[in-house]
Amino acid sequence: MKHLLIVYHSQSGNTQRMAEAALAGATNELITETEVRLLRAADAKPEDLLWAEGLLLGTPENFGYMSGGMKDFLDRTFYQVEGQILSLPYAIFISAGNDGSGALRAIRRIANGYPFKEVQEPVIAQGEVTDEHLGSCEELGMTLAAGLEAGIF
């Protein structure tokens, strides 16, 4: 089995809905060889990152940056996994009031250090999270899981 980790932070539920859509995609009945773990950022530990062979990170944009909860997860895990992760395939989803670019830039910058390798375009919901956004997150989850199974990433 391959291992896909989905870590998200959400205060008012929008990013959580995106995370749940990604989970639905990653656990689609066509996916048979990938185990998926969905965790709130506050509950995710270095061991979860070491378990993962693929990663989805979801955050709201707060004050032009990733949320404090997501930053805390990255702060808590970096030194614990340093040198033990070669290049973890990952992708990002963001819920933003009207932008999202600051959160995206911040995650990408930190991800280089782990290192994580971005393997899919990010999904950014600007404003209300629509069914289309949720569909894109579902597709993102399925693509990561299927890609891990197929050994593409």
Ligand X SMILES: Cc1cc2nc3c(=O)[nH]c(=O)nc-3n(C[C@H](O)[C@H](O)[C@H](O)COP(=O)(O)O)c2cc1C
List of residues contacting ligand X (CB under 6 A):
10-16, 60-64, 95-100
The nearest distance, CB 45 to ligand X, in angstroms, is 21
The nearest distance, CB 50 to ligand X, in angstroms, is 26
Nearer to ligand X, 13 or 113 (CB): 13
The nearest distance, CB 105 to ligand X, in angstroms, is 12
The nearest distance, CB 94 to ligand X, in angstroms, is 8
DSSP string, the chain: -EEEEEEE--SSSHHHHHHHHHHHHHT-TT--SEEEEEEEGGG--HHHHHH-SEEEEEEEEETTEE-HHHHHHHHHHHHHHTTT-S-EEEEEEEEESS--HHHHHHHHHHHHHTTEEE-S--EEEESS--HHHHHHHHHHHHHHHHHHHHT--
Nearer to ligand X, 88 or 110 (CB): 110
Nearer to ligand X, 15 or 143 (CB): 15
Nearer to ligand X, 2 or 133 (CB): 133
